[in-house]
Amino acid sequence: MSRALAPREHVPLAPYCTLGVGGPARFFLEARDEATVAEALAWARRRGVDLRVLGGGSNLVVADEGVDALVVRIALRGVSAEAAGRAVKVTAAAGEPWDALVAFAVERGWAGLECLSGIPGLVGATPIQNVGAYGQEVSDTLVSVRALDCATGRSVTLPARECGFAYRDSRFKSGEPGRFVVLAVTYRLAPGGAPTARYADLERHLAGRGRAPTLAEVRAAVLAIRRAKSMVLDPDDENRRSCGSFFTNPVVTPAAADRVAALAGDPAMPRWPQPDGRVKLSAAWLIERAGFRRGCTDGPVGLSTRHALALVTRDGARTADVLAFARRLRSAVEARFGVRLTPEPVIWGPPPAGLDAGA
């Protein structure tokens, strides 16, 4: 090892998470280069403790008990670009703020990320969640992921075909969770390419222009839509203490979708046909139809006043409160429609009873 690491002990994690709740890390370290990440893995192995990776904390729920592990906060920075035929390959370090990278691409006229504007967090999280919004997913443009393989201690480059991408999922999230630490991500973008503007909300926002929108206009529209839903980080927003969408939109068979519409008595229920023949439903719509209105509260937690899919916390909230409220939502939707919602954020700590993804 090139130098001795000195992780801090018993560091509160709540300040590093957008929900603002959660206990401490047994050990905590900030990594500003790849060598430190590798050294942290070796340090954790020697001491027999788990290694956990912290990014922007915008998709993370930490148990009140904290986590008995070495938590490494990824702070690797740097962006580079190179021509690749008619495309451009952009490589960003895992610690780069995601929205800044989107702005970087849009300002240069490189299409492919514009609909992913305003999403909080860091670049390193994007392949893990296969981040997507308004008609685009990271997997649409991702070329490769550079990562530390915790099984071997070596850095590897994984092409997109080996990342196991699916709807809000990947090899990193559910295939082999904890095996890889993302170090950098490479995307293939289209210089001078047309923006993606096929999502209904986005089309409505951009309607009436009499011409095709520019990349900058699509980005501005996405930011405006997200801001109206409190889905951007804004210190003045009453809904700011949130981790965004708490559940993924369920994907069901066409027969199941028809059954849900019949139970709701609403043939106009929002639904989106998927390439595999199944149908995506709106989790927010299901939550509201199960009896939970925007802005409703249960003690120090509740739903955002602007979006039924975002759980928010107030002063005095604990993680146990968040998970209990999430279980209430999930149980109500399942009782009303027979559809089981799956949590989207990563949950650190003891498996929360009745809320694990496979429950």
Write out pLDDT tens, residues 72-89: 999 999 999 999 999 999
Q: Which amino acid is at 94?
A: A
Percentage with pLDDT > 70 across the chain: 97
**Does 145 or 354 have the greater pLDDT score?**
145
Catalytic residue among 146, 168, 318, 330: 168
Q: Has residue 359 got a pLDDT over 50?
A: no
Structure token pair of residue 44: 């954790």
Q: Among residues 245, 304, 318, 330, which one is catalytic?
A: 245
The number of angstroms, rounded, from the C-alpha of 3 to the middle of its chain's C-alpha atoms is 33
End-to-end CA distance of the chain: 43
- In angstroms, the CA 30 to CA 289 distance is 43
Catalytic residue at 168? yes
Helix (H, G, I), strand (E, B) or coil at 36: helix
CB burial string 312-322: b at 16+ within 10 A, e below: bbeeebbbebb
The pLDDT of residue 305 is above 90: yes
Contact 237, 306 (CB under 8 A): no
Segment holding 72, helix H or strand E = strand 67-74
- Interval 193-203: pLDDT, tens: 999 888 778 88
- In order, the DSSP letters of 75-142 are ----EEEEEETTEEEEEEETTSBHHHHHHHHHHTTEESSGGGTT--SBGGGHHHHT-EETTEEGGGTE
Cα 296 off chain centre by: 24
Domains, the chain, in order of start with CATH, read: 8-74 (3.30.43.10), 79-228 (3.30.465.10), 242-348 (3.90.78.10)
Q: Is 245 a catalytic residue?
A: yes
pLDDT at position 341: 97
pLDDT digits (tens, 9 = 90+) for 90-144: 999 999 999 999 999 999 999 999 999 999 999 999 999 999 999 999 999 999 9
Reported confidence tier of residue 356, pLDDT bands at 50, 70, 90: low
In the residue annotation, 282 being an active-site residue is answered as no
Of 29, 55, 59, nearest in space to 44 by CA: 29
Mean pLDDT value across the chain: 94
